[in-house]
Structure 1
Amino acid sequence: MTTFVDRVELHVAAGNGGHGCASVHREKFKPLGGPDGGNGGRGGDVILVVDQSVTTLLEYHHSPHRKATNGQPGAGDNRSGKDGQDLVLTVPDGTVVLDKKGNVLADLVGQGTTFIASQGGRGGLGNAALASARRKAPGFALLGEPGEARDIVLELKTVADVALVGYPSAGKSSLISVLSAAKPKIADYPFTTLVPNLGVVTAGSTVYTIADVPGLIPGASQGRGLGLEFLRHVERCSVLVHVLDTATLESERDPVTDLDVIEEELKQYGGLEDRPRIVVLNKIDIPDGQDLADMIRPDLEERGYRVFEVSAVARTGLKELSFALAGIVAEARAAKPKEEATRIVIRPKAVDDAGFTVTYDEHEEVYRVRGEKPERWVRQTDFNNDEAVGYLADRLNRLGVEDELMKAGARAGDGVAIGSEDNAVVFDWEPTMMAGAEMLGRRGEDHRLEAPRPAAQRRRDKQAERDDAQREYDEFDPF
């Protein structure tokens, strides 16, 4: 049964925003008290949070589909809908978030670090929020926006100061067990370690973490064996420790050749050239192991490596190794720049940026309008309500969409699509839409909500209507 997972594909969906409410206030002796529809609630976000007590992505391997709750719709009497509850997903320290194309979206390091993986939809405005001096009684409300849905990839890169690398059965697990309190599985056959083991070491006043990286064999950087899965776990380390087996029983292998092979795999993987290296000659408690260590040590030191002879079984040479690693880790920490406060990067839009584009799609034979505002307005529109459609027409006209369509060569009857190819609203364009108010009347103006006119004024208006009707009849009568 799988107990360690360091890479998963996660399908996250934020909550939808609640719809706004179209309502008119009513009470005794005041049946038409004005619009009082409340706004819809915001949809919940999907948020990733680093929790250092979590060490694996196993939970998301079994349950890769996650969704936040929706916002509630608004109600009458100016009652706003309840916001959807955010869905918080805990991830291990060192988790990298990528999109399906491999682009890095976030690198989550440090307890409590958060990233909004999926944004909840906005709640729709109720007709009370849409009312104005010109639009006193809107008979519509805006719909809530759908929550963002996306597929992301989570990769775990172990956060460790020291990484132990070497052939299977070189003694990495044994070494980490005696340097720290970690209790990895240990045996004398290849690939005993199937997951990175992490331990905490205290050397004087320095406390550092140490991890053994399993599965490095020739071809690991190209996917052979388990190496490619776990090479990412050495990326964050401050120092690489080559653990060489001086008591290998394989005639075609020797410690120096093992070192060259592992170095070549690290070179092929890339990005680790600047890390300091230490060589540990392990298993010197075996007579042949000590002899081989004495033989190859001068060659390794000539190459510039610091060499330590240890025995994980006899526990010799461990103190010197531990303090040497602590010194390198302390230097690396001191050399790192101090973490700066979170910076807000402001990218102002160009002066001539209209916020949308109009292009002609020859394949679909439509003029396609793309932009954050027009696409959001379309999502908020209830197309079963003529007044809401007219309101959308007015908004698009004020934004300048009508003018840009004319400049692009659109003519009456041409198809216009607002949105992407797979999710667009398509309609036949009529230039008269630039005067949406003329199409549907003066939307939102209800004479019943206006102040009462004096009786004399009402009589004069009534007489004027009769005179106009008589004049039209006289002009029409051919006799």
Structure 2
Amino acid sequence: MTTFVDRVELHVAAGNGGHGCASVHREKFKPLGGPDGGNGGEGGSVVLTVDSQVTTLLEYHHSPKRKATNGKPGAGGNRTGADGEDLILLVPDGTVVLDRQGNVLADLVGHGTTFIAAQGGRGGLGNAALASARRKAPGFALLGEPGEARDIVMELKSVADVALVGYPSAGKSSLISVLSAAKPKIADYPFTTLIPNLGVVTAGETVYTIADVPGLIPGASQGRGLGLEFLRHVERCSVLVHVLDCATLEPGRDPLTDLETIEAELAEYGGLDDRPRLVALNKVDVPDGQDIADLTRASLEERGYRVFEVSAASRKGLRELSFAMAGIVAEARAAKPVEESTRIVLRPKAVDDAGFTITEEDGAYHIRGVKPERWVRQTDFNNDEAVGYLADRLARLGVEDQLWKIGAHEGDTVVIGPEENAVVFDWEPTMAAGAEMLGRRGEDHRFENPRPAVDRRREKQKGRDAAEAEFLAFEALSSGRQAAIEGDDDEDQ
């Protein structure tokens, strides 16, 4: 049964954004309540997070498809839909994320490091958010944006300070078992170790990790044996230690030949020429082991190697080897630049960046850009008002003007978005001239040309003044009639 996996192919899919809601507020005695459709919720993202307690990618080997939850749609009463939950995938320290073409997307080193493998879709805006001074009662809402979906490859490169390299059964696992508290499987036959073993070693004030690379044999860099599967685990190491078997009985093998063979495989793999090397002549406690070590030590030192005669059984020379490895690790750590806790990266927008590009291919005009592609995905093409709103946005972005400049004619094919999910339509030049008209779709004509509040107050005041003048005229007329009646009475008397 497989217990260790250091490379998996994973299909990740983020959640879709929730659709916006097109709703009108309805209440007694308020016929013009206005739009109150809420926005859709954001789709959940797929996030890779480094966890120091995770040591293998086995979980994703058995379940290679992962999907986050979708956002909920908006509702009337200005109620926003709930956001989808992010899917957190725990990965080991040292995981490298690549796409299907082999391009590195992220190198996850350090507990808590995160990477968004698939971004959740945006929620669509409700008609309440789309309302403006010109468009007071939109009869449409934006659709939720689909979540990102893609295939990724995750490779584990062990984060170890020291790598033990050598032939199978050279004693690498035995050295790790006595230098640290690790308990790897140990046997006297080749390819006992089927997975890289890690151990933590303390030498004075330096604490470092040590790992072995199993299965290195001639041709490993071309895929022979197990070496190619695990050579990636030495890429992060600060020092390489050649473990040479001084007690091998195989014909044609000796410490010098083994060293040359392993060095050739490391050179073929590439990227390890700058790593310091140490040599551990192992198994000097067995018969003839010490004699072979004495014969080869001088030749190795002439080549510039620091040589240590060790024995995992008797523990001879292990202290000196441990402190030598700790010294190189400490120097490598001190040479690394100190990373600032906070780093601000400024990426100013180019002065000539219009936000989209138009190219002519196979008799059609292809429009690509983050904004126009997102707007197309969020448009409900069954709603004329929504289509008009899209045309208005494209016109404001400058798409119409650019089509005119590059010579597009009426009836030409225009494609927006990638080929696998594009919107194709025949271009009508009148859209450029009628963009303002299209932008007025969704207006409520009951609100057209509203009278300002100041005008309404003036009209009320005019009404009051007219009523008062009419009252005064009537009062004057009544007084005159009364005076005439009294004069007639006097004459009668």
Q: How many Å apart are 1:59 and its aligned residue?
A: 0.7
Match in the other structure for 1:465: none
Contact map agreement 1:419 1:425 (CA 8 A) in 2: yes
Which whole-Å deviations, capped at 9, do the CAs of 1:165-223 have from their partners, x for residues lacking one?
A: 00000000111011111111111111111100000111122111000110111111111
Alpha-carbon spacing, 1:358–1:193, altered in 2? closer, same or farther (3 Å) = same
Match in the other structure for 1:154: 154
Contact map agreement 1:221 1:228 (CA 8 A) in 2: yes
Contact map agreement 1:415 1:428 (CA 8 A) in 2: yes
Match in the other structure for 1:272: 272
Contact map agreement 2:391 2:439 (CA 8 A) in 1: no
Contact map agreement 1:97 1:152 (CA 8 A) in 2: yes
Count of residue pairs the alignment pairs up: 453
Match in the other structure for 1:87: 87
Match in the other structure for 2:479: none
* Distance (Å, rounded) in 2 between the aligned partners of 1:142 and 1:111: 39
Q: How many Å apart are 1:57 and its aligned residue?
A: 0.5
* Distance (Å, rounded) in 2 between the aligned partners of 1:307 and 1:350: 57
* Distance (Å, rounded) in 2 between the aligned partners of 1:322 and 1:64: 40
Question: How does the TM-score come out when normalised to structure 2?
Answer: 0.89
Contact map agreement 1:242 1:279 (CA 8 A) in 2: yes
Partner-residue secondary structure (3-state), 1:396: helix
Equivalent residue runs for 1:333-352 within 5 Å: 333-352=333-352
Partner-residue secondary structure (3-state), 1:422: helix
Provide structure 1 residue ranges, at least 5 long, that are not aligned to the other structure.
Answer: 458-479
Contact map agreement 2:68 2:85 (CA 8 A) in 1: yes
Question: How does the TM-score come out when normalised to structure 1?
Answer: 0.92
Contact map agreement 1:391 1:436 (CA 8 A) in 2: no
Q: How many Å apart are 1:366 and its aligned residue?
A: 1.6
Equivalent residue runs for 1:388-403 within 5 Å: 388-403=386-401
Q: Identity of counterpart residues, as a percentage?
A: 84
State the AA in 1 paired with 2:427. W
Partner-residue secondary structure (3-state), 1:199: strand
* Distance (Å, rounded) in 2 between the aligned partners of 1:437 and 1:207: 69
* Distance (Å, rounded) in 2 between the aligned partners of 1:357 and 1:437: 20
State the AA in 2 paired with 1:225. G
* Distance (Å, rounded) in 2 between the aligned partners of 1:202 and 1:222: 36
Match in the other structure for 1:373: 371
Equivalent residue runs for 1:101-180 within 5 Å: 101-180=101-180
Match in the other structure for 1:221: 221
* Distance (Å, rounded) in 2 between the aligned partners of 1:231 and 1:440: 62
Partner-residue secondary structure (3-state), 2:288: helix
* Distance (Å, rounded) in 2 between the aligned partners of 1:19 and 1:265: 56
Match in the other structure for 1:462: none
* Distance (Å, rounded) in 1 between the aligned partners of 2:176 and 2:82: 52
Q: How many Å apart are 1:448 and its aligned residue?
A: 3.4
Q: How many Å apart are 1:345 and its aligned residue?
A: 2.7
Partner-residue secondary structure (3-state), 1:287: coil
State the AA in 1 paired with 2:393. R
* Distance (Å, rounded) in 2 between the aligned partners of 1:396 and 1:263: 61
With 321-330 and 152-161 compared, the bigger mean Cα shift is at 321-330
Contact map agreement 1:394 1:434 (CA 8 A) in 2: no
1:431 maps onto 2:429 in alignment: yes
* Distance (Å, rounded) in 1 between the aligned partners of 2:26 and 2:339: 59
* Distance (Å, rounded) in 1 between the aligned partners of 2:20 and 2:306: 69
Which whole-Å deviations, capped at 9, do the CAs of 1:412-450 have from their partners, x for residues lacking one?
A: 111111111111101111111224467669322213356
State the AA in 2 paired with 1:411. H
Match in the other structure for 2:446: 448
Partner-residue secondary structure (3-state), 1:231: helix
* Distance (Å, rounded) in 1 between the aligned partners of 2:138 and 2:434: 15
Match in the other structure for 1:409: 407
Equivalent residue runs for 1:15-26 within 5 Å: 15-26=15-26
State the AA in 2 paired with 1:30. K
Q: Which structure has the larger Rg?
A: 2
Which whole-Å deviations, capped at 9, do the CAs of 1:269-292 have from their partners, x for residues lacking one?
A: 111111111100111111211111
Partner-residue secondary structure (3-state), 2:422: strand
